[in-house]
Structure 1
Amino acid sequence: MADAHNAFVTRVKIEGAAEGPLSGATVAVKDNISTEGVRTTCGSEMLADYVPPYDATVVSRLTDAGATIVGKTNMDEFGMGTTTETSAFGATANPVDEERVPGGSSGGSAAAVAAGEADYALGSDTGGSVRCPAAFCGVVGIKPTYGLVSRYGLVAYANSLEQIGPLAPTVEGAAELLDVIAGPDEHDATTHNAGASSDYAAAATGDVDGLTIGVPTELVEGADDEVRRVFEGALDAYRDAGAEVEDVSLPSVEYGVAAYYVIAMSEASSNLARFDGVRYGESGGFEGNWNESFAETRAETLGDEVKRRILLGTYALSAGYHNKYYKQAQEARAWVRQDFEEAFADVDVLATPTMPVLPPKLGESVDDPLQMYLMDANTVPVNLANLPAISVPAGESDEGLPVGLQLVGPKFGEETIIDAAALLG
């Protein structure tokens, strides 16, 4: 990571096609997305020297569209974090205020865009990992509907929750990137053809006259005063532009963080089992039986947060506890989905602060996992329901720190949220 903000793990220059919708554009790629011949570390010592033999589908689509890949960006280890401080390669600073975190886990991607080191970037969003750094760094980030963008070549953390999404300085720019990466993929059976013929960039008009915006009271009440002030100012801008704003209730989101972390950690426990120094990852060269070697390798090459989540996920899936934790979390997830569906029967989009807090200072929250998890309260329900959402800059705090507004749409409602977000960005 040679630049001032520690945004990049690896600097590269992968040239795209001579012609295409992204010709001349530079893109930074999160370091859990496979790039043929270029290290993909996932921010972990376990994969410090791993070089994929193939490109992720989204990378192939970028280069086919003419984009130049300029680097792999720093991230929380295996996507587990909200500050990009759990990376084995050091923390990333927020370009807006280098004493503060850029958010996570796609913090390097957001920082690269905010610092002007890349025109666009790709991140992945399992519980807010595109939207959180977009909000903290003052850029735009889109979490697509589950299945809109191929996950082939994304190193899995929690398969049922995660999506690759674009970051850009503007809504139109993020939409242009989404136009390139969206669409079905024969390598990923979860992809859908819903967005195959969409023109997301053309949808970024900012025309919200007649739009009905629902504001979930449960996701506003807990926000910091400064965040709420900026958020309310953004809602006034929508009212002035002809939108109708009304309060709605999503009672299930009270259980969103708890349900999310049980499900995500359980899936992580399963997905990360392959990183044992034998199938994937660095072997410690330990003598003794296979179990001892496996345990010692993981103890030495995985960070504390990753170990914590694997252990908690394994516990939630263990005999005697599966029904108590994992099954109940899935029932809560179904309730969250139902609440969103009922809300969208009455409103076109939902609006919340993207993050309930301002960007913390470096070192402030990394030693308090529970506080870090609670920062995801406004973003994780969207992933539980597999819906699309966008974070757009809504304004600044009195200290000059960015505050993001999150717009959530019904499944495959990307055009609606992009159109609405364009009013602000």
Structure 2
Amino acid sequence: MIAKPSSHLRSLLAGVGLAVAAAAPAQAQRVSAPPAPLVAKLHLSSVYAKYTDVGGFPVVATAKVSDHAVAEAAYLIYHMVGRRPDILRAIADKNIRFVVMAPSEMTTDVPEHSDLAPKSYWDRRARGIGATPPHPATSAGEENLLNLPGDPYPDENILIHEFAHTVYEAGMVTLDPSFDRRLLAAYEHARATGLWKGTYAMTNRTEYWASAAQSWFDCARGQDEDHNDIRTRAQLKAYDPAIAALLKEAFGDGKWRYAKPASRPAGERRHLAGFDIAKAGSFSWPAQIAANEIPDLGLGATSDKNTPSASPRNSSGPSGIFFINHLPAVVSIDWLDFDGKPVHYADIKPGEQFFQSTYVGHVWKVSAAGQVQGTFVAQEGNGRVEINAKQPQW
């Protein structure tokens, strides 16, 4: 049984023009301009010209995005958590919104993500990211939602992965204080027993959750260098019952599974009435962004004889490093000076990023909880170091 919201909550939702209950799954989503009360409440940018709603949770986009993509985002969100209006309310209470990017829009074109730096890294890294307190927007590209030609991620659904992050980080942990502890226990058990070994899911517990959510809805990419072959809910239940049980708590265990729009029965395409993929355009990386492939510098072994013990006094030029902390602990970033002495530069909180200007050939050390995670040498151009729970590769 779905609990009715209090009279105070009903008044609050009505005051910002939001619906109390999620729309029926086969109902055509109405796309309109964002209502003025919502714009004021969320401090929405004036670039947002399109809006729809799923149980009080807003989906927005610029005029460059098709109504069909906005409606498809709402359709997917409904099928993920429409049975859990409490989750949608918890997320909406944090002023989070879902943003659909047009094929011509990049990550830092999203107003809530416009300050992410370096821009060249974020615009090339992904076609959708999750919400954080400083950046309260979860995003995905129109090309992935509608399966347009040129989609860089044709074998998976980005919304399901990224919105799963939001369901966990802004929904479940708010509603159930024990949820994060139980997810961490499942993640640590998976690591200890070799489940998901060598996959992106083992980066940290948040990626473990979001990657497993893709399998829960039958839209995981399939086996490659970052994924294993657990693609479906049935496989997931047999392979990792602990994470499957947690996913069932959040999403239920109904019949719905993700299918690309063209593969769905007519009743599940009503919100896409009039959509013609032949006229919908395509995606391609702009040339200047396609050229911005930022190499992963990795974390070299501190005992590796090939890793210098000090930074050189002479360098061929400036460089830059983008640190990404996937660990559940604060990491410390030190520069090894010309005599090999560590000079502290930054502490990076769990889940946060930090960009450091440096010079080619300079040596940097990464530590967490007093333990050295590894060292690396800056290369020409900008590079990145992803600090995660995987064993360093060298």
Q: TM-score range by the shorter chain?
A: under 0.3
Higher relative contact order (CA 8 A, sep 6+): 1
Structure showing greater Rg: 2
TM-score by length of 1: 0.23
